[in-house]
Chains A and B, each alone.
Chain A
Amino acid sequence: DQQVKQNSPSLSVQEGRISILNCDYTNSMFDYFLWYKKYPAEGPTFLISISSIKDKNEDGRFTVFLNKSAKHLSLHIVPSQPGDSAVYFCAASVGGSQGNLIFGKGTKLSVKP
């Protein structure tokens, strides 16, 4: 039973355009959400997070939107750059815990020059 779902295994975007990665969750107890970026043969790198008391968090080219009623969050990258090509994982936790993070299966983003 997947509590965090990333329904798009892959996404291809042109350089300079917006990339939108989506994530849905089922557990209403989740109150902290994170996005990680992962290159092949490396560990995940933290990108951006959002608490359930907010609906938007922005950091440079990266913005995360949270819609609690729909149990949906999205990561926007604008403008997209070729170096953004990686697998993006959505993760969620209860109580802001860094311990038991529940990860989605990831979306592979390809940004074409």
Chain B
Amino acid sequence: NAGVMQNPRHLVRRRGQEARLRCSPMKGHSHVYWYRQLPEEGLKFMVYLQKENIIDESGMPKERFSAEFPKEGPSILRIQQVVRGDSAAYFCASSPQQGAGTEAFFGQGTRLTVV
């Protein structure tokens, strides 16, 4: 039973380019969450998605960031026109359902470096 799979593990982008981060949840998990960790900081919630629906995007920057979780395929976090401040580790987590006792499992993260 594979865990949460994120790719790529490392991504280097020049300022102004687009970054696409992919997350395949654990089998049977329909809830996906994206978090960002800046250096020396804790993880910060960005967005919560279920299949084809964005449930909570309160942590997403208003511009340049978008996320989707299509009916088929992985969840995608897209960052357009990246800037140096976007350099961070981006973690995806999944859970089978919501609520206490259904802890989310995290992937290994994608480390984005903007040069």
Q: Which segment of B13-21, B62-70, B101-109 sits at the interface?
A: B101-109
Total residues of chain B contacting the partner, CB 8 A: 31
Are A44 and B99 in touch, CB under 8 angstroms? no
Are B103 and A46 in touch, CB under 8 angstroms? yes
Given A36, A89, A98, A100, which contacts B99 in the complex, CB threshold below 8 Å?
A98
Contacts of A98 in B (CB 8 A): 31, 33, 93, 95, 98-99, 102-104
Known interface pairs A43-B108, A99-B33; A89-B45 also in contact (CB < 8 Å): no
CB interface residues, A 40-84, toward B, < 8 Å = 41-46, 49, 51
Q: Using a Cβ cutoff of 8 Å, how many contacts connect chains A and B?
A: 74
Are B102 and A43 in touch, CB under 8 angstroms? no
Report the minimum CB–CB distance from B42 to chain A (whole Å).
4
A112 at the interface (CB under 8 A from B): no
